[in-house]
Chain A
Amino acid sequence: MTSSGYATERETTEGRVFTVTGGDWDTITGSIDPLSNEKIVVNMGPQHPSTHGVLRLVLELEGETVTEARCVIGYLHTGIEKNLEYRNWTQGTTFVTRADYLAPLFNEAGYVLGVEKLLGITDDITERAQTIRVLFMELNRISSHLVWLATAGMEIGAISMMLYGFREREYILDIFEETTGLRMNHAYFRPGGVANDIPESAIKKIRDFLVYMPKKLKEYEDLLSGQIIWQQRTQGVAVLDVTGCLALGITGPVLRSAGLAWDLRKTLPYSGYENYEFDVPTATTGDVWGRYQVRMAEMRESLKIVEQALDRLKPGPIFIADKKIAWPAQLALGVDGMGNSLEHVANIMGQSMESLIHHFKLVTEGFRVPAGQVYIGIEHPRGELGVHVVSDGGTHPYRVHMRDPSFVNLQAIPAMAEGALIADVIAGGASLDPVMGGCDR
């Protein structure tokens, strides 16, 4: 073992410790006597390109076989739940949107549905606002699945897939930007409706996207499905059956890949999903291959929902009629992003004192939410996103807990990885699609 270069070693009470980067692996394995040192503990992460963000895996290996795997999380804990307790109910959306950064609109949806249920205004949300929410959630589902396909492809060695996946995702982010002013972290869904209406230009972009995307999905499948390496890296890898999924609380595409058609949009519908026609794709293999097929099929189903939502989009108000809750601002997209429309500012400052008072009170104080607690579960791209919202009757949330699917699903890593090869830890971990922003919150 040479001490030059990057692969340094030191003796500790627990054994020899190596620091390895990239290609130094060979020098280490070459220097270890395979007879006396069969076991090796590898710290994968927290900054490892194949662990989807700052996830740390502690793997105990015998040769190339994983005998024990443990996840260490918390590296991206940002205290979102605690911070929410110091902001008013409307400001809450700007925080929750940052939890799972690949599915911001789902975080917002779960939170605002919770607040609306506490307020008892679930049925008063306008038709157009509901439709826009469904439309945007499904677009977001596609963009999230695209990132999954892109990163999972990269991790299993299909680098081109990474480029294609991110390229098409950009198309969706453009649509979001056109409407909300931001590519991510939109704070677009608000308690009572959505922040602003979809401009015509964005609707045209969505129509174009509906024509463009199916061809691309076909292209991905042409690229991957018949590929022998892709098949061998995914088929029969990281198998988890329905019993295992239920015990570990795994939901979403992973559960559906094991054969159980549990999708909250169908089974416990919300936001008017019962009015849309779509299927819940399942597979029976319960492996990475099955999850790949389920997610590909889900993107097609989402496109179907997006198309139906566009057809249902009738002109109308996008915010609840109750002026005690509706955000008083008239937002417009300026050159530097979303802000108050200048006409509205001129009006309340110069014309109507009452409007100004109303605006000031609602924006600085916010509305009060009657005391109580609710739990909302929605179908997030990764499984059930549960939001438990507690109010003490004040203008701030008393407690908000997000049951993030990434957090719960990561518990399956030991079940999937132990006894398998180290290379399959990467494929299995990727197939769970964990997003650490959501996991650690």
Chain B
Amino acid sequence: MSLESSEPVGAELGAPAQTPSSPHKGMFGIEGTGDVSGFGGLVRRKPDVVGSPKPYGSYFDEVTDALEEAYPGFADAIEKVVVDRDELTLHIVPEKIAEVAQIMRDDESLRFELCSSVSGVDYLNSDTRRLHVIYQLTSMTYRRRVRLEVAVPAGGSVPTVTSVYPTADWQEREAYDMFGVLFTGHPNLTRILMPDDWEGHPQLKDYPLGGVPVEYKGAEIPPPDQRRVYQ
């Protein structure tokens, strides 16, 4: 993230503070009132997720080596391998996710029989391919876990893994419902938690939380997404 327009705010006499509403600037997210804290110009930069170098340690080398051996398109399909906090994440090219999942499940030295969880994350403003879909796989044979991650732009599409893991059916529907990720080839991609006629995808970062101000003992407290918060 760049450091654009990081001029001190509230410096001009009599002018209202122009604390930007970006979640990574300033400390309180205030607009329209004077900020004398001096923290309004703070910019928090997020480090990019970088790939980890080999050897990865733990069982991670075994898993990646086994996948490389079993899957001829390994070099084209794997964007990067990240080992963080004792967990292995394989970033996959979106089009290849179903193929990789198939091998992860079926190869004898991998055997990730269970797809524990499928969910989405919206990396608005920090990744151009803002929507990430995350697959948590569990190998019951070897008692291992691995995470697959794909990234697509808003409204992008990802091949479904339901033919490999039928359990992903509802979970992909939830990711579609909440983030608008389209899973191509899904047998029944409809909303699951929100009503059928709902507009928008509520878990997106630019979708407001909503709410009404609450009065408590004479003081009015704004809804949660409009309160002052430390960032």
Contacts and interface: CB of A to CB of B under 8 A. Distances in A.
B202 A411 contact: no
Interface in B126-143: 126, 134, 136, 138, 140, 143
B167 interface: yes
Contact of A403 (B117, B165, B202): B117
B25 to A, nearest CB: 12
A199 B192 CA distance: 44
A365 interface: yes
A49 interface: no
Given A393-B46, A408-B167, A411-B169, 17 more contacts: A73-B192, A74-B191, A74-B192, A77-B194, A83-B224, A86-B225, A86-B227, A246-B114, A371-B46, A371-B47, A373-B121, A375-B147, A386-B116, A386-B117, A398-B121, A407-B171, A410-B170
Given A408-B170, A440-B193, A399 B147 contact: no
Given A118-B85, A386-B116, A399 B46 contact: no
Interface of B: 23, 44, 46-47, 84-85, 87, 89, 113-117, 119-122, 126, 134, 136, 138, 140, 143, 145, 147, 165-171, 174, 191-195, 202-203, 209, 224-225, 227, 229-231
A375 B192 contact: no
Q: 10 closest pairs, A vs B, by CB?
A: A249-B167, A403-B117, A401-B119, A365-B230, A74-B193, A86-B224, A77-B193, A386-B117, A399-B121, A247-B166
B138 A392 contact: no
B165 A249 contact: yes
A6 to B, nearest CB: 27
A268 B202 contact: no
Question: Which of A375, A377, A403 gathers the greatest number of chain B CB atoms within 10 Å?
Answer: A375
A224 interface: no
A248 B140 contact: no
Contact of A82 (B168, B174, B202, B230): B202
B46 A411 contact: no
Given A395-B231, A399-B122, A411-B170, A372 B84 contact: yes
For A79, A268, A401, the residue with the greatest tally of chain B CB atoms inside 10 Å of its CB is A401
Contacts, number: 124
Q: Label chain A's interface by main secondary structure.
A: mixed
A364 interface: yes
Given A401-B119, A411-B167, A393 B44 contact: yes
B85 A82 contact: no
A117 interface: yes
Interface residues of A, number: 51
B119 A403 contact: yes
B230 A366 contact: yes
A197 interface: no
Contacts of A386: 116-117, 136
A334 interface: no
Contact of B85 (A85, A87, A372, A392): A372
B116 A249 contact: yes
Given A74-B195, A246-B114, A364-B230, A377 B145 contact: yes
Which of A73, A117, A249, A374 lies at the interface centre, i.e. has the most chain B CB atoms within 10 A of its CB? A249
A79 B138 contact: no
B202 A375 contact: no
A267 B138 CA distance: 11
Contact of B165 (A117, A247, A251, A372): A247
Interface of A: 73-74, 77, 79, 81-83, 85-87, 117-118, 120, 246-251, 260, 262, 267-268, 364-366, 371-375, 377, 384, 386, 388, 390, 392-396, 398-399, 401, 403, 407-408, 410-411, 440-441
A388 B209 contact: no
Contacts of A83: 209, 224
A408 B122 CA distance: 22
A82 B138 contact: no
Contact of A392 (B120, B126, B229): B126
A118 B147 CA distance: 16
Contacts of A118: 85
Specify which of B117, B120, B229 lies most central, judged by the most chain A CB atoms within 10 Å of its CB: B117
B121 to A, nearest CB: 5
A240 to B, nearest CB: 13
> Which of B47, B113, B167, B203: most chain A Cβ within 10 A?
B167
Nearest to B122: A399
A267 B143 CA distance: 7
A87 B229 CA distance: 9
A268 B143 contact: yes
Contacts of B115: 249
Nearest to A400: B119
A374 B230 contact: no
B201 to A, nearest CB: 11
B165 A374 contact: no
Contacts of A394: 23, 44, 231
A394 B229 CA distance: 11
A375 B87 contact: yes
Given A375-B87, A394-B231, A82 B136 contact: no
B121 A390 contact: yes
